[in-house]
Amino acid sequence: MKNYIGLKKIIYNTNKRNVFEILIFLVALLMCFDKLTMRVFIVLTAICCLFKGNYVVFKNKLSLFKLSVTLLWLIPFIQIIISSSFLLYWNKLETKLSLLIFPLIILNSLKFRNDLIYNVLKLFIYGCIISMFLCISNAILNFFSFNNISYFSYRTLSVFHHPSYYSMYINFSIGIFYIRLLYPLKKNK
């Protein structure tokens, strides 16, 4: 009974903003890991964003100008829909649709605060460090188990993603870390 009351208190004290921030933090932390769990958290974040979003922003001309870069993704959709090979290119259309919808949904509901962005970037760096540690330890374990140096090569070193995507994540986290060293976050007094 005591655990039930504690769980009920946690649920009532958690508002939509906290749930949304937790989901954003989980997406940032788990981005370098398995794609299936990442998809689940992105869908949960998008559903949370649909309920949290401020849709008045679409009436503002300045906001439409900011969203115009995202709206440029509509051009390939129109080309594929007009062409007669719609079924042939549906897979590419589906991939690009997520690149259009998720930024619109997430940016519409995200209130940009320095501490939120700083924590998201910090958790992304932590996720990259943990995934690098897991990839290196997997390669070392396989090297000693099978006595094969190829576990440190291109395809077998990256456990979670394709090596080129994984290297982009790692390079982005190194860039974030480098920018934070050059321009540290100033504390508000």
Lowest mean pLDDT among 25-39, 103-117, 164-178: 103-117
* pTM for this prediction: 0.71
The predicted pLDDT at position 44 comes to 82
Q: What mean pLDDT comes out for the span 55-59? A: 64
Q: Helices marked H in the chain — which ranges? A: 2-13, 16-30, 35-52, 61-71, 74-82, 90-109, 114-146, 154-157, 163-182
Give the confidence band of 133 by pLDDT, cuts at 50, 70, 90: very high
The predicted pLDDT at position 11 comes to 47
The predicted pLDDT at position 7 comes to 44
The predicted pLDDT at position 118 comes to 85
The predicted pLDDT at position 189 comes to 47
**How far apart (Å, rounded) are the C-alpha atoms in residues 105 and 67?**
11
Condensed to tens digits (0 to 9), the pLDDT of residues 79-92 reads: 777 776 667 766 66
Statement: residue 184 has pLDDT above 50: yes
Contacts of residue 104, defined as CB under 8 A and 6 or more positions apart, other chains included, come to: 67, 70
Average pLDDT, the chain: 76
Statement: residue 121 has pLDDT above 70: yes
Give the confidence band of 142 by pLDDT, cuts at 50, 70, 90: very high
**How far apart (Å, rounded) are the C-alpha atoms in residues 116 and 27?**
13
Which is higher by pLDDT, 143 or 77? Answer: 143
